Structure 1
Amino acid sequence: MSSPSLPRYRLVNPTLFRMLMQRTGTGAQLTLRDLGDLVGIPHTTIGNVLAGDQESVSSETAQAIATTIGVDLLILWVPVERAAKMQPAAVVRELVAA
């Protein structure tokens, strides 16, 4: 379970997420069920995030999904508390400045 001090993460682009599931960093293709099993969460959680029915996930879940797919966290996710309402260019500027 996520600590209250850790940010939650919102999916940046569902289409990109689906595309990366088709060919992960290892070259494998993952279904929602496969990814859920590997990450240790219900596959319905992933489906709900992709459909927009679930707004965010814990930092641990976001990191586990990104790691399993084989990409950096911020390729798929944006912290809700810090940058979710920022325009994409502003997010990039903030990351570059860090």
Structure 2
Amino acid sequence: MRPQENYMVIISPGLLVQLMERTGDGRSVSVRELADAAGCHPSKIDALRNGRREKSTIDEALAIAKRLGVDLLVLWEHTGRTVPVPAEPPHIAAVPA
């Protein structure tokens, strides 16, 4: 049995877009650059920006916040008892082994 993954939910896709246009150091960051910093595929960053995806692992969320130059909870909220993990659309969900 695999340990339960800790997920973070993005607060606002629009806020992510704004923060990418002007990061903490005043420069913009591209989807590809942010994906490289987070260690994920650029399509995941694009899906977060467009609202097609709402959740990310805590490690990815931390890396994204760090690259954008903001505190984690400016852009993300923890999942748990009060914030449920959103279900992935069927086309994104993993196929069982």
TM range (shorter): 0.7 to 0.9
* Alignment correspondent of 1:54: 53
Output the CA distance in 1 between the equivalents of 2:42 and 2:81.
Answer: 27
* Alignment correspondent of 1:44: 43
* Alignment correspondent of 2:75: 76
Cα drift, residue 51 of structure 1: 2.1
Structure 2: which 5+ residue stretches go unaligned?
85-97
Q: Which runs of 4+ in 1 moved over 6 A?
A: none
**Bigger helix fraction:** 1
For normalisation by structure 2, the TM-score amounts to 0.74
Aligned residues: 82
Cα drift, residue 28 of structure 1: 1.5
Cα drift, residue 83 of structure 1: 4.0
SS of the residue aligned with 1:63? helix
Task: Tell me which amino acid in the other structure corresponds to 1:33.
Answer: R
Task: Tell me which amino acid in the other structure corresponds to 1:59.
Answer: I
Tell me the percent identity. Answer: 33
Cα drift, residue 35 of structure 1: 0.8
Output the CA distance in 2 between the equivalents of 1:66 and 1:83.
Answer: 22
Structure 1: which 5+ residue stretches go unaligned?
86-98
* Alignment correspondent of 1:23: 22
